[in-house]
Amino acid sequence: MSHRSGRHFLQIPGPTNVPDRVLRAIDHPTIDHRGPDFAELTRQILPGLRKVFKTAGPVVIYPASGTGAWEAALVNTLSPGDRVLMFETGHFAALWHEMAKRLGLEPEFISGDWRTGADPEAIGQRLREDTEGSVKAVCVVHNETSTGVTSRIGEIRKAIDNAGHPALLMVDTISSLASIDYRHDDWGVDVTVAGSQKGLMLPPGLSFNAISQKALKAAEGARLPRSYWDWRPILAANENGFFGYTPATNLLYGLREALAMLLEEGLDNVFARHQLHAAATRAAVEAWGLEVLASNPREYSGSLTAVVMPEGHDADAFRKTVLDRFDMSLGAGLGKLKGRVFRIGHLGDFNDLMLAGTLSGVEMGLSLAGVPHRKGGVQAAFDVLTGAGGSAAATADAGR
């Protein structure tokens, strides 16, 4: 293979680019995970994680992908045959639904069109009908990575409360945590699921459960089998700075550095940066004459933008052109969206110039692949980034 000059543009919606500070932190001698230095590392990490989740409660760390954290949320709180209400927002919501079935739960799937988020009114109506309290949990994906749609968790919490229903609320934030405003405590979430490889700017390999007191109480009577995923021994060991298993020690060094970077920038600034980049990307898509998959402006994602291909054109062929010519990876369409959309990731350690390069690669790729479009998408994005097309802050806020 011949050498390709320059850097690869990894513009999928996760795993994201790992910043140099995090890479240098991971490149650290492995230490004794039963020793005092490691205990101090844990004591530094857990408070920072609570700030990012916006919770005063415990956060459990697993050496696993986000899929493991999905399973942990279910098996720690539920029993065989429990009914779980889920909403079909996209490919990952469908995978979580399939997992629930395999674990012996009875998931009820409210169908969706993959262009809008979970409907608070539909959830509230279903819970009002559940006068016997058969639904034990509501599971929602906050930011659906396959579609670029963000569900309104605060409104879903209100719908559950207005229905007077005791169901637990579980939320997947794998592609939203540390990228899009999220409030575990304020929104009354009982279990938040997250992963390391997106907004937290780490390689894959860590996953998380943020846990409410209500969820801890539910865990006392839960009867689904659990061993590795059991919260109890982990929380007990964490009290002294340790884990009940061999942790991913070097990734935890990287996590400490990533948390420091997020808090140095300020979470509100992180969220505003993501919203600005999302608004600039949507401006480019509109200028090209293409269509954003998300249909409700209130649910536009700050993490990624899914773009619908014109009829008769294959998104995967376009992505291959971009990869071959410009060494840039764009996200594929997943599930029923295969070949129909491509996804532009704009999350994590990402700035204006990186977005400009990304959108330039997309616009050149559209021309080379023969995809019908208008010129000027990159300029439209520049206008948003520089404020030439109006207030950049107002443009960014439009997607919130």
Kindly state whether residue 139 falls inside one of the protein's structural domains. yes
Residue 94 and residue 128 in one domain: yes
Query: Environment class of residue 247 by beta-carbon count within 10 Å: exposed (0-12), middle (13-18) or buried (19+)?
Result: buried
- When divided into structural domains, the chain yields a total of 2
Query: Looking at residues 19-46, what average pLDDT do you find?
Result: 97
Kindly state whether residue 1 falls inside one of the protein's structural domains. no
Confidence of residue 1 (pLDDT cuts 50, 70, 90): low
Q: Is 83 annotated as a binding residue?
A: no
Kindly state whether residue 11 falls inside one of the protein's structural domains. no
Query: Environment class of residue 37 by beta-carbon count within 10 Å: exposed (0-12), middle (13-18) or buried (19+)?
Result: exposed
Quote the CA–CA distance of 91 and 333 in Å, as a whole number: 9
Q: Which residues contact 210 (CB under 8 A, 6 or more apart)?
A: 49, 50, 53, 55, 57, 58, 59, 184, 189, 191, 192, 194
Confidence of residue 393 (pLDDT cuts 50, 70, 90): very low
Q: What is the pLDDT of residues 80-113, one digit of tens each?
A: 999 999 999 999 999 999 999 999 999 999 999 9
Q: Specify the pLDDT at position 394.
A: 41
Residue 106 and residue 224 in one domain: yes
Residue 254 and residue 274 in one domain: no
Q: What is the pLDDT of residues 204-214, one digit of tens each?
A: 999 999 999 99
Residue 176 and residue 292 in one domain: no
Q: Specify the pLDDT at position 399.
A: 41
Confidence of residue 69 (pLDDT cuts 50, 70, 90): very high
Domain stops at, among 263, 292, 324: 263
Q: Specify the pLDDT at position 391.
A: 41
Kindly state whether residue 238 falls inside one of the protein's structural domains. yes
Closest to 50 in 3D by CA, of 202, 174, 157, 209: 209
Residue 214 and residue 274 in one domain: no
Quote the CA–CA distance of 1 and 343 in Å, as a whole number: 28
- Please tell me the pTM assigned to this model: 0.96
Residue type, 250: N
Residue appearing with tokens 């616009």: 363
Residue 51 and residue 136 in one domain: yes
In this structure, the number of other CB atoms found within 10 A of the CB of residue 338 comes to: 13
Write down the mean pLDDT value for the chain: 96
Domain stops at, among 263, 292, 325: 263
Residue 194 and residue 291 in one domain: no
Query: Is the predicted pLDDT of residue 396 greater than 80, yes or no?
Result: no
Q: What is the pLDDT of residues 7-29, one digit of tens each?
A: 999 999 999 999 999 999 999 99
Residue appearing with tokens 């948003």: 384
Write the CATH number for 367.
Answer: 3.90.1150.10
Query: Is the predicted pLDDT of residue 360 greater than 50, yes or no?
Result: yes
Query: Is the predicted pLDDT of residue 31 greater than 50, yes or no?
Result: yes
Kindly state whether residue 328 falls inside one of the protein's structural domains. yes
Q: What is the pLDDT of residues 260-318, one digit of tens each?
A: 999 999 999 999 999 999 999 999 999 999 999 999 999 999 999 999 999 999 999 99
Residue 242 and residue 388 in one domain: no
Q: 368 is in which domain, residue-wise?
A: 266-397
Residue 183 and residue 87 in one domain: yes
